Chain A
C-alpha cells in the first residue's frame, strides 16, 4: 500500500533553528529516508517553501479569487511530504516515528494514497 506521510510543524519554530540544529536534523532525516530507499520503499520526497511563498486559489465565490498565503492559518503548517510503499499502516507509522526522532515537535499525518501517478518530471 502506498502512503503519503505529511509533515506538519510550526514553521516559525523550524525557521528559528540554528544552522547546527538544522543540519543535525537533516542528517538524521536523510538516514531515515535511506533506510526506506535501500528497501525500495521510498517514493517522491518534497520539502515545501515557507507558507509566505504560498498562494491560494479560493473557489468559495465566482470567479475564484487568488489570495496570498496558505489555504488556512494554522498553528502548524504543512512543511513537506513523503510517498512510501509500506506493507501496512504499522510500517508507515514506524517510518514516521523514525522521522519524528530526528526532529522535535510537530506531527506526521499518514494518509493512504488512492491514486498515484509518478508523473513525467525528470530527476
Chain B
C-alpha cells in the first residue's frame, strides 16, 4: 500500500467523527464539510512527511476547526458580526481543545450527523444520497454511478437535500435517552436503505451498486462501536453481513438472479457468516428481539444450512411468527407462508395467504408465491393466472425476470412430484 492509499483509508475512516465534530462547532453542514476538506488537503501534505498522527480524527478536527475559524474571521471583517448563537463556540478557540475532543461527545456528534441525513422531510433516496456524501464521503460522481443517474442530477439532489435540512431545526443539545434511541432507530433504518440500494441491484448495475452494501456494513460497524450494547444494531449488522455473504453466489454470469435454493453455497463468504452468527449470539443475550435481529436470525438459519434441504424451515416459520408480532405486515405474513409451505406443505401456505389478497392485490410477489403454491397443488390453470398477474405487476425487467426464473424453477420442482403421484 502506498502513502496515498493508506492516507485515503485513514481520511475515510476519520471522516464521520471529524465532520460531525466540526458540525457541532460550526453548526452548518457546508462549513463543516469545507473545513474537513481543507484539513484533508493539509493532511495530504503533512502526513507523508511526518508520518500518520496518533489520532487522525483529532488531528483533522483541530486543523479543520482552526481553518474554519480563520475563514469566519476573514468574513467577519467584511460583514457585521453574526450573533453569538450562530457562531457557536468559535470565540473560545484557545480553550481546552482536549476537553472538546472527549470521546463521550463524538458518539452523539456522529449520531446527530447521521440523524440529520434521515430527516423525515427528505425522501428516502435523498436521505441515502446525503448520508453517502456527507458521512461516508463518497464523491458525487461515485454516488451518481451507484444510483444510475447523471452526475449533475445527483449534484442537484444533494444540493436540494442540504437546502431542506438547512431550513430545518437541527437539535444540537445532547439528546436524552428516549431521543437518542429514536434517532438510533431512524439512522438504522437509513443504513439498511443504503444496503438495500446495493442489494437490489441486478445485471450490469451490479458492480456499480454493490459497494453500497459494503458502505452500509461499514456504517453499521461504526454505529455498533458507538452503541456497543444495542441488540438491534448488532442485528442490523448481522443481517447485512449474512445477506452480503451470499453476494458471489447470487448472480449468474449474465447477472441474472440465482435463487437461494440454487446457489452454490461453497461461494458464500464464510468470514462474513461467522461474524454475523457471532453478533446474533451476542444480541440474543439481551432478550429484546427486534425486527433486524429476528430477520438476521432467519438469514442465519439459511446460512447454517450446507444444503437447501438442511434448512430448518419450522424454526424459520417460528421466527417469521415473531416478526409478524413485532412488525405486523401482509408482506411478512407472505414471507412466512413460504416457510410454511416448506415445513407444512403448499395447502397450509395457501390458506395463510388467502386473507392477504385484498392488501396485496398490487404486489407482484404475492401472485408469484400464490402461483407457486397452486402449481405445487397441481392447480395448473389457477397457477398460470396468478403467474400472469405477477408478471403484469412486476415493477421492472429484473423483477419480471425474477418471477419468470422462479416460475421456471417451480415448474422443474413440480415435475418429479408429479411423477410420484
Binding site for B on A (CB under 8 A): 10, 12-18, 21, 24-25, 49-53, 55, 66-69, 73, 75, 103-105
Contacts and interface: CB of A to CB of B under 8 A. Distances in A.
Contacts, number: 72
The 9 tightest CB contacts between A and B, nearest first, are A104-B6, A69-B228, A12-B13, A16-B13, A68-B229, A52-B224, A16-B12, A13-B13, A16-B9
Contacts of B237: 52
B278 A53 contact: yes
A68 B228 contact: yes
Nearest to B57: A12
B193 to A, nearest CB: 21
A25 B12 CA distance: 18
B103 interface: yes
B274 interface: yes
Contact of A21 (B9, B54, B234): B9
15 contacts: A10-B13, A12-B222, A12-B225, A13-B10, A15-B13, A15-B221, A17-B1, A17-B9, A21-B6, A24-B1, A50-B275, A52-B224, A69-B229, A104-B6, A104-B9
A118 B107 CA distance: 41
Given A13-B9, A18-B5, A75-B54, 10 more contacts: A10-B13, A12-B222, A13-B6, A14-B9, A17-B9, A25-B1, A52-B225, A68-B234, A68-B282, A69-B228
B6 A105 contact: yes
Contacts of A12: 13-14, 222, 225
A51 B55 CA distance: 18
B282 A53 contact: yes
Nearest to B278: A53
A15 B218 contact: yes
B296 interface: no
Interface string B7-44: 00110111000000000000000000000000000000
